[in-house]
């Protein structure tokens, strides 16, 4: 075969879910030509042109779905419980290697697109370029490079601390010049030692300057919000995605805020609740209790985390009922949330009330729409980039079926995942 001859791959499985929410195609086939999908349909109807060179794989009892889209990662974290303040002390070169390792694990798990929510310095800018050059293996990346924080604010240690409207605006320009695809803001404190998760950080004026500058450049914004005031400030400043979306008061008490829920719906904002990251911490502590026991303080801390998770699941269930647009973003490998386990977050959205079909969409086409990559990621259709996951069983009976990865295709190429 001549090198410039088109290369076809025909894959078959018992069913195919295209990511649009229609009923699955039974006895399905998907034809790829080089990096693109050319045809989707029933096995009897889809075939490569006569005489063309075609690789054919029949996966049998499996489902063909779009490559998953995780709208929230932190690639330079190890996912073993190391806190951000400590990660920030590592050399950038080590963090780049950590990020490359995570990117590979994430791709192998079936996630073919991620939105990176903040890493040290230029780590993700370099990794994205490295993947483009074939120096590293990983998903398609949408990056913010570094989140914008106030001085001492959450994740300010990655290198983008600013104060005042003009400094904030200038940092947006700087990040875009460096290669950011969207702008991430930490609008409240978080786990960062010098910050308070229950209090807002930027003023509305500062936030408005950031979103205006980003929107002027045609890019989206997303904000970390773990306090009610932070959510309110971000809605005032027209931030596109609210991350975590916790309605805590400065004293740490969670409040029901029907007014803010109404505003989220009015604004048509996306919410990325990040539920599993807390569950991952709880599981880790419970394991440690078995092996080495916990101190009284640690027991109290564990109880607190369990109560927090329960409150959060209830709050997300309520938001889903009211019609808030939810997307799946893992936050991994932050905290104890290991990379390559995105399905856990999709399972948590199921637990909070999404149907399995909607949880699939939250981790594919909705997630892609929320990060502005609908034209390339999150659904299967002719003419689109062939990013495909083949998983055993049927995810419409529970997204946990997606754990059974049979194969991953990235831009039409079967990903070599090694022996497992």
Partners of residue 25 on adjacent β-strands: 16
Radius of gyration (C-alpha) of the chain in whole angstroms:
21
Kindly tell me the sign of the dihedral angle through the C-alpha atoms of 259, 270, 235, 273.
positive
Q: Which is nearer to Zn ion, 155 or 373 (CB)?
A: 155
Q: Which is nearer to Zn ion, 70 or 331 (CB)?
A: 331
Smallest separation (angstroms) from Zn ion to the CB of 116: 10
With contacts defined by CB under 5 A, name the span among 17-25, 41-49, 131-139, 330-338 that binds Zn ion. Answer: 330-338
Contact 412, 376 (CB under 8 A): no
By CB under 5 A, tell whether 186 contacts Zn ion. no
Burial of 17 (0-12, 13-18, 19+ CB in 10 A): buried
User: In terms of CB distance, is 25 or 76 closer to Zn ion?
Assistant: 76
* 56-75 binders of Zn ion (CB under 5 A): none
Strand, helix or coil at 203? coil
Among 206, 331, 345, 358, binds Zn ion (CB under 5 A): 331
Least spacing, CB of residue 241 vs Zn ion, in Å = 12
Question: Would you say 336 or 409 has its CB closer to Zn ion?
Answer: 336
- In the bound state with Zn ion, the residue whose beta carbon lies nearer, of 33 and 161, is 161
Count of residues that interact with Zn ion, criterion CB under 5 A: 2
Tell me the C-alpha distance between 149 and 88, whole Å: 15
CB of 72 to Zn ion, least distance (A): 6
Q: In this structure, which long-range contacts are made by residues 301-310, counting pairs with CB atoms below 8 Å and at least 24 apart in sequence?
A: 305/278, 305/281, 306/282, 308/278, 309/275, 309/278, 309/279, 309/282
Residues 99-138 close enough to bind Zn ion by CB under 5 A: 117
The region of 13-21, 63-71, 325-333, 392-400 touching Zn ion under the rule CB under 5 A is 325-333
Q: Which is nearer to Zn ion, 8 or 270 (CB)?
A: 270
Cβ neighbourhood burial of 407 (10 Å; 0-12, 13-18, 19+): middle
CB of 148 to Zn ion, least distance (A): 14
Residue (334 or 409) nearer to Zn ion, CB? 334
Q: What is residue 342's DSSP assignment?
A: T
Rounded Cα distance between 391 and 25, Å, is 15
Give the residues lining the site for Zn ion (CB under 5 A).
Answer: 117, 331
């Amino acid at each position: 075969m001549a090198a410039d001859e088109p290369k076809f791959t025909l894959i078959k499985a018992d069913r195919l879910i295209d990511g649009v929410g229609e009923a699955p195609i039974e006895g399905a086939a998907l034809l790829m030509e080089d990096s693109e999908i050319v045809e989707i349909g029933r096995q009897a109807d889809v075939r490569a042109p006569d005489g063309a060179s075609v690789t054919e794989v029949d996966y049998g009892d499996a489902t063909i779905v779009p490559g998953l889209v995780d709208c929230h990662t932190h690639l330079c974290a190890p996912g073993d419980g190391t806190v951000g303040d400590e990660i920030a002390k590592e050399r950038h070169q080590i963090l780049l290697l950590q990020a490359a390792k995570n990117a590979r694990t994430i791709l192998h798990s079936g996630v073919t697109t991620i939105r990176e929510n903040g890493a040290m310095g230029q780590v993700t800018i370099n990794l994205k370029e490295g993947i483009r050059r074939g120096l590293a293996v990983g998903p398609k990346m949408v990056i913010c490079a570094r989140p914008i924080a106030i001085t001492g604010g959450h994740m300010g240690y990655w290198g983008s601390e600013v104060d005042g409207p003009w400094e904030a605006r200038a940092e947006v320009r700087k990040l875009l010049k460096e290669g950011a695809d969207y702008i991430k803001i930490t609008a409240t404190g978080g786990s960062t030692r010098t910050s308070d998760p229950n209090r807002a950080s930027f003023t509305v004026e500062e936030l408005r300057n950031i979103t205006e500058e980003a929107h002027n450049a045609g890019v989206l914004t997303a904000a970390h919000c773990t306090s009610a005031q932070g959510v309110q400030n971000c809605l005032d400043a027209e931030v596109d995605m609210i991350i975590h979306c916790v309605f805590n008061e400065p004293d740490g008490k969670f409040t029901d805020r029907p007014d803010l829920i109404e505003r989220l719906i009015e604004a048509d904002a996306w919410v990325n609740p990040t539920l599993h990251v807390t569950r991952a911490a709880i599981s880790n502590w419970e394991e440690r209790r078995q092996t080495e026991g916990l101190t009284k303080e640690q027991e109290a801390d564990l109880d607190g985390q369990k109560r927090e998770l329960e409150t959060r699941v209830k709050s997300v269930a309520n938001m889903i009922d009211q019609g808030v647009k939810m997307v799946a973003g893992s936050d991994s490998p932050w905290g104890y949330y290991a990379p390559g386990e995105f399905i856990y977050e999709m399972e948590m959205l199921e637990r909070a009330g999404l149907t399995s079909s909607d949880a699939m969409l939250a981790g594919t086409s909705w997630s892609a729409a929320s990060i502005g990559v609908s034209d390339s990621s999150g659904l299967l259709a002719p003419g689109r980039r062939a990013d495909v996951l083949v998983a055993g069983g049927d995810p419409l009976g529970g997204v946990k079926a997606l754990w059974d990865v049979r194969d991953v295709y990235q831009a039409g190429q079967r990903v070599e995942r090694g022996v497992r």
